[in-house]
Amino acid sequence: MTEIRIEGADIIIIGGSSGMGLVLARRLLAEGAGVTIAGRSAERLAAARRQLGDPSGLKTAVLDLAREEEIAAFFRDCGPVDHIVSTAADIEGAYHLLPDIQLSAAQRVVESKFYGPLLLAKYGAPRLPPSGSITYTSGVAAYRPAARGSVVAAVNAALEGLVRALAVELAPLRINAVSPGWVDTPIWSFVAGDAKQATLEAMAKRLPVGRVGRPEDIADAICFLIGNGFATGTILHVEGGHRLV
């Protein structure tokens, strides 16, 4: 089996300026990878760079997954790349009951979690070596949908279908997704607003593991998928038992 090494690998994380992606960047840098974090906001990327301690192995790139021309240009100019990860999601304004759903907000979820990942594969896969991988992030909403979350539930499910199809089409590249449960990250301000802490605490009591997720739990799972040469088309559920309750 080809050994998949993280040390010395060049890894791109779209969504690396916040939450799970930021913690993943810290972990990969500590393991000796060269890391590029990408997102739409230059300010968030600069803040992430400061939080990571401005390491020499870190690059940042302003990139919007909703813009095909930006994705094409990014991969034309990005230099060597061994693995691609996307933890990006734009769910602002998407958590509503049907009467209040705005198509523009639903469209941004689709762009960040379906069309964007499709385009990452279109332009990124040709840049990867045969031992390369793409790891996406879906989510437990596909399995345990909540009222107000229909768009996110559907898009997560669609992304998982895409993962299986791409694992066949792009072989021997490995294409996988981690499906997180509820994880305490900045995204919750869009989902629950001021009720974030109370909502997460209530879920912690319900879950078999007795707590909600930490970004480190998901970063660990993504590292596994990058490093395991036998995993492809896999949806790795890391959700504290949420699908069981």
Ligand X SMILES: NC(=O)c1ccc[n+]([C@@H]2O[C@H](COP(=O)([O-])OP(=O)(O)OC[C@H]3O[C@@H](n4cnc5c(N)ncnc54)[C@H](OP(=O)(O)O)[C@@H]3O)[C@@H](O)[C@H]2O)c1
> By C-beta, is 55 or 129 nearer to ligand X?
55
Report the residue from 4, 10, 11, 19 that binds ligand X according to the rule CB under 6 A: 19
* Total Cβ atoms within 10 A of residue 166: 24
Of all residues in the shown chain, the one whose CB is closest to ligand X is 19
> By C-beta, is 5 or 78 nearer to ligand X?
78
Q: Which stretch binds ligand X (CB under 6 A): 25-33, 87-95, 220-228, 230-238?
A: 87-95
> By C-beta, is 87 or 150 nearer to ligand X?
87
Contact call for residues 144 and 243 (beta carbons, < 8 A):
yes
Report the residue from 175, 183, 219, 221 that binds ligand X according to the rule CB under 6 A: 183
> By C-beta, is 10 or 90 nearer to ligand X?
90
Give the Cα separation of 98 and 102 in Å (integer).
9
> By C-beta, is 157 or 229 nearer to ligand X?
157
Contact call for residues 84 and 63 (beta carbons, < 8 A):
no
DSSP-assigned letters across all residues of 25-53: HHHHHHTT-EEEEEES-HHHHHHHHHHTT
> By C-beta, is 4 or 48 nearer to ligand X?
48
Sequence-separated (6 or more) residues with CB below 8 Å from residue 28:
6, 11, 13, 35, 223
- DSSP E strands, 90-145: 133-137
Cβ 117 to ligand X shortest distance, Å: 9
Contact call for residues 214 and 184 (beta carbons, < 8 A):
yes
Residues 140-179 that bind ligand X (CB under 6 A): 140
Strand partners, 84: 12, 134
Give the Cα separation of 102 and 13 in Å (integer).
29
Residue count, binding to ligand X (CB under 6 A): 32
Cβ 41 to ligand X shortest distance, Å: 3
The values of phi and psi at residue 223, to 5°, are -60, -40
Give the Cα separation of 61 and 80 in Å (integer).
14
Site string for ligand X, 22-61 (x = CB under 6 A): -----------------xxx--x-----------------
Q: Which stretch binds ligand X (CB under 6 A): 1-9, 10-18, 53-61, 164-172?
A: 10-18
Contact call for residues 95 and 152 (beta carbons, < 8 A):
yes
**13 belongs to the binding site for ligand X (CB under 6 A):** no
**139 belongs to the binding site for ligand X (CB under 6 A):** yes
Report the residue from 36, 60, 112, 232 that binds ligand X according to the rule CB under 6 A: 112
Binding site for ligand X (CB under 6 A): 14-15, 17-21, 39-41, 44, 63-66, 87-90, 111-113, 116, 137, 139-140, 180, 182-183, 185-187
